[in-house]
Amino acid sequence: MPFLGKDWRSPGWSWTKTEHGWKRILFYGHELEDNNREIDLKELCSDNKENLFVGDVCELATTKRKKDFYNNNTKSQFDFRDKWIYVQKGSTKERHGYCTLGEALNRLDFSSAIQDLRRFNYVAKLFQLIARSQLTSLSGAAQKNYFNILEKIVRKVLEDQYNPRLVKELLHDLSSTLHSLTIHVGRCVLVGNVNIWLCRLETIFKWQQQLNNLQIPKQMCNGLSFSDLPLHMQNKILCKLSDAYDIINLGQATPTLHCLSENRMLWKKLCHFHFSDKQFCRNLVLTKSDNVDWKLMYFTLQKHYPMKEQYGDTLHFCKHCSILFWKDCGHPCTANDPDSCLMPISPQHFIDLFKF
């Protein structure tokens, strides 16, 4: 049980036992391990006799110095030891208050998640949904954390050339939202000075230019290439792609891949993967010979219905203890069969969890 702090109304501090005694755990920011950054209270109060700082005033000065250090460090990230969060929508006797979207954004370690290729698309899609409708619901600290993580996403794409199209769509939606909020709606809906948001708009525009000028270097490989594979293997690889634009872009590489990308059965499987039979009946597209044009059918259905989302790894929600977490990190569950209580959370479902 944690010791209580100085203010009896606070939830108290958390402590851990070390070889040299009990040490307080800091849940955000970085510990000031450099002794030069702190004020030596004994030296300040005793050696300099003309100094007016005594007792509690010295302690207040040290606290203010640490606070200024945290506030001035704009790149600081929230560093929580537990990589899960309790999703609460109301007050109870045990817990007061509720969980917000900004708090979840700070607690679930998205900075490390974007380094994992299984989670990169999930985080990028989630940030795109936040940019479209939930940006004004974030607190000032959460908005700062949002843009810090976004900078890491752009940097990863520029370095690894991984999925630039998805990040371009994210930046386009974010710039449209900020342009509308800063110019058409007004300043009252944004946290902070409007000049800060104008600078962020300029930064987003710079990122968009960098992504537009991105050149993917041609890899020199002396071994077996994709075009050297048999046609049936190339066709199976194309059938594993769930994004129509990836199939079209791959078909532009060689004439053989272009023929495979126009295969009627390939687009039929893609339609059945993303859409249901009822949706087919309402938007049936036929050719002159009364055959179904599955490629045109796909883009017609795409305009009217949401597509099925597929990710390598997602956040999970435990229905037993109402905790949201990354499955690899785990969470403190008291259920007899924890795996039966888990439910994968899509990016849109993540947003809906924090709508009150």
Distance CA 210, CA 205 (A): 9
Strand partners of residue 23:
16
The residue that leads in pLDDT, 195 or 285, is: 195
Neighbours of 35 (CB within 10 A): 7
Distance CA 322, CA 159 (A): 37
pLDDT tens digits for 332-356?
787 888 788 888 999 999 998 887 6
Q: Are 60 and 83 in contact (CB under 8 A)?
A: no
pLDDT tens digits for 2-60?
544 554 444 566 778 888 888 877 654 444 444 444 444 444 444 444 444 444 444 55
pTM given for the model: 0.69
Which pair of structure tokens corresponds to residue 221? 């490989």
Amino acid (one-letter) located at 353:
L
Neighbours of 342 (CB within 10 A): 18
Q: Are 346 and 324 in contact (CB under 8 A)?
A: no
pLDDT tens digits for 111-149?
888 988 889 999 999 999 999 988 888 888 888 999 999
Distance CA 322, CA 185 (A): 36
pLDDT tens digits for 222-276?
777 778 888 889 888 888 888 888 888 888 888 898 999 898 889 888 888 888 8
Is pLDDT at 328 greater than 60 in this prediction? yes
Distance CA 318, CA 341 (A): 5
Of 84-93, 229-238, 278-287, least confident by mean pLDDT is 278-287
Q: Once rounded to an integer, what is the mean pLDDT over residues 311-315? A: 87
Measured at the CA of 308, the angle between CA 303 and CA 311, to 5 degrees, comes to 130
Q: What does the pLDDT read at residue 57?
A: 46
Directed axis angle between helix 294-304 and helix 244-251, to 10°? 140
Q: Are 266 and 247 in contact (CB under 8 A)?
A: yes
Could you give the dihedral angle defined by the CA atoms of residues 225, 229, 235 and 239, in that order, rounded to the nearest 10 degrees? Answer: -50
Nearest of 314, 324, 315 to residue 88 by alpha carbon: 324
Strand partners of residue 15:
24
Give Cβ neighbours of residue 258 (< 8 Å, ≥ 6 apart).
251, 252
Q: Are 116 and 313 in contact (CB under 8 A)?
A: yes
The residue that leads in pLDDT, 100 or 52, is: 100
Distance CA 157, CA 165 (A): 10
Distance CA 74, CA 151 (A): 13
Distance CA 146, CA 78 (A): 11
Model confidence band, residue 69 (pLDDT cutoffs 50, 70, 90): very low
Calculate what percentage of the chain has a pLDDT beyond 70. 71
